[in-house]
Amino acid sequence: MSALDSALHQLAEAVKQLGLDDGLHDMLATPRRSMQVAVPLRRDDGTLQVLAGYRVQHNLSRGPAKGGVRFHPDTDLDEVRALAMWMTWKCALIGIPYGGAKGGVAVDPRLLSRNELERVTRRYASEIMPIIGPEKDIPAPDVGTDEQTMAWMMDTYSAHKGYTVTGVVTGKPVSVGGSEGRGGATSKGVMFSTFFALREAGVDHRGATVAVQGFGKVGGLAAQYLHDAGCTVVAVSDVKGGVYNPKGLNPAALLKHLRSGAESVVGYPGTDTITNEQLLELDVDVLVPAALEGVIHEENADRVLAKFIIEGANGPTTPDADAILEQRKAVVVPDILANSGGVAVSYFEWVQDLQAYFWSEDEVNDRLRALMESAYDGVSALSAERGVSLRTAAQMIGVGRVADAHRTRGLYP
């Protein structure tokens, strides 16, 4: 099942639970704007390569569109559409005044030099410029992009405008209008979601065993924060494979290892090598999928033994797998809740940029925790009240709020 199939399936379930009519369902399933652009890149060796770039604004009924930019070789329009739709429900669920968007370029950033990456980023930013802006659509980092990518996008947009516009993207370095606490925000949110889910089940998080798939921006710091909070992180992985130590890994040391030039976590001293598939099937308390979508599916779901699955990634569990996990009574904290810390602090960053007044890291973290706790409590209460999964409850709240905005605004003309 593709990411778009999963997203549409989840939407249909929420629409059914909410009793929305077919017209509104159609409206919510259809992106408002899909833009495909050519991104010509002059390689360092002088040759020219034309890459495909995308920006999809799924919904604009509650405010400007918001969502990350992905640089990955498999990115295509359908994937971006799915990711944009999830952003719409996520922003509505946590109550921030945005619609959902997503963008991407079909490219493997690991195969580009820094100069090539900068050229791809600047050309992509200028191609999508007609539809982005602080009051229109605000990109952020996602897979394969980072705060440097955002600094180049902000600079390109500002150069075209003729003045500095910090609020056009979020996830920027603090030195150019970024927010304190944005770097680790998604991971902090994953940690809070883990705490809330375990607390609700009466399980102490201290000593809980954790496996994290995808040791990138989200998974790397989620592993570190959970370890620092007393969990035992027994396995982590990246695109090349995973490492396992039943006594526990030291994520901070692993992150340092990567920062000092190692290409993968695989081969780290004192660990056994495992595959990404084996990592998903470890008998741990908590599994954090934090890489790509569709990794827990019909074929492997019955071998996923974790009691709590905290979705750092967007769309890691297909609807077929959800049904299998539900039967097994595994608790799945869904992506639009579990990884919403990133967009929450992106919202804080945008607010700070618009006001040109910046907050302390403690203030950011306190507001993040409060926002996520209130979203989690709302989802958990609705799940209990209606006897539906946390995912369906989260989707119902998100989709319901967007549907309300459509009804209240009415249809033009």
314 contributes a contact to ligand NAD by CB under 6 A: yes
Alpha-helix residue ranges (DSSP H) falling in 19-76: 22-29
**CB burial string 131-164: b at 16+ within 10 A, e below:** bbebeebbbbbbbbbbbebbbbbbbbbeeeeeee
Is there binding between residue 218 and ligand NAD (CB under 6 A)?
A: yes
In the list 119, 123, 205, 217, the residue contacting ligand NAD (rule: CB under 6 A) is: 217
In angstroms, give the least distance from the CB of 293 to ligand NAD. Answer: 6
Candidates 87, 21, 5; CA nearest to 398 is: 87
Do the Cβ atoms of 386 and 393 come closer than 8 Å? yes
127 vs 238, beta carbon nearer ligand NAD: 238
User: Is 329 tagged catalytic?
Assistant: no
Separation CA 413–CA 406 (nearest Å): 13
**Contact pick of 103, 214, 294, 319 for ligand NAD (by CB under 6 A):** 214
| Window of 36-44, 196-204, 310-318, 349-357 that interacts with ligand NAD by CB under 6 A | 310-318
Residue number with CB closer to ligand NAD (20 or 212): 212
Site for ligand NAD, residues 94 to 153, rule: CB under 6 A: 141-144
Six token digits for residue 52: 């495909």
Is residue 67 a contact point for ligand NAD (CB under 6 A)? no
Minimum distance, C-beta of residue 119 to ligand NAD, in the bound complex (Å) = 20
User: Under the criterion CB under 6 A, does residue 291 sit at the interface with ligand NAD?
Assistant: yes
- Residues touching ligand NAD, count (CB under 6 A): 24
Tokens describing residue 69: 């930019």
Quick one: residue 162, left, alpha or beta (phi over 0 = left, psi -120 to 50 = alpha)? Answer: left
Q: Which residues pair with 251 in a beta bridge?
A: none
Cα separation, 390 vs 384, in Å, equals: 9
Span from 29-37, 38-46, 210-218, 370-378 in contact with ligand NAD (CB under 6 A) = 210-218
Q: Three-state SS for 63?
A: coil
**Six-digit token string for 301:** 């779901």
| 3-class state of residue 106 by DSSP | coil
Q: Which of 66, 90, 102, 188 is catalytic?
A: 102
Where helices occur in 101-228 by DSSP H, the ranges are 114-128, 147-161, 185-200, 217-228
CA distance 333 to 196: 10
Q: Which stretch binds ligand NAD (CB under 6 A): 12-20, 115-123, 288-296, 385-393?
A: 288-296
Kindly identify the residues of this chain, within the stretch 227-286, that bind ligand NAD according to CB under 6 A: 237-239, 276
Q: Which of 100, 312, 398, 400 binds ligand NAD (CB under 6 A)?
A: 312
Residue range at the interface with ligand NAD (CB under 6 A); choices 45-53, 192-200, 307-315, 398-406: 307-315
Contact range with ligand NAD by CB under 6 A, out of 45-53, 117-125, 154-162, 211-219? 211-219
Tell me the three state secondary structure of residue 321. helix
Residue 213 C-beta: closest distance to ligand NAD, Å: 6
Could you give the residue numbers annotated as active site? 102
Residues near ligand NAD (CB under 6 A): 141-144, 186, 213-219, 237-239, 276, 290-292, 312-314, 339, 342
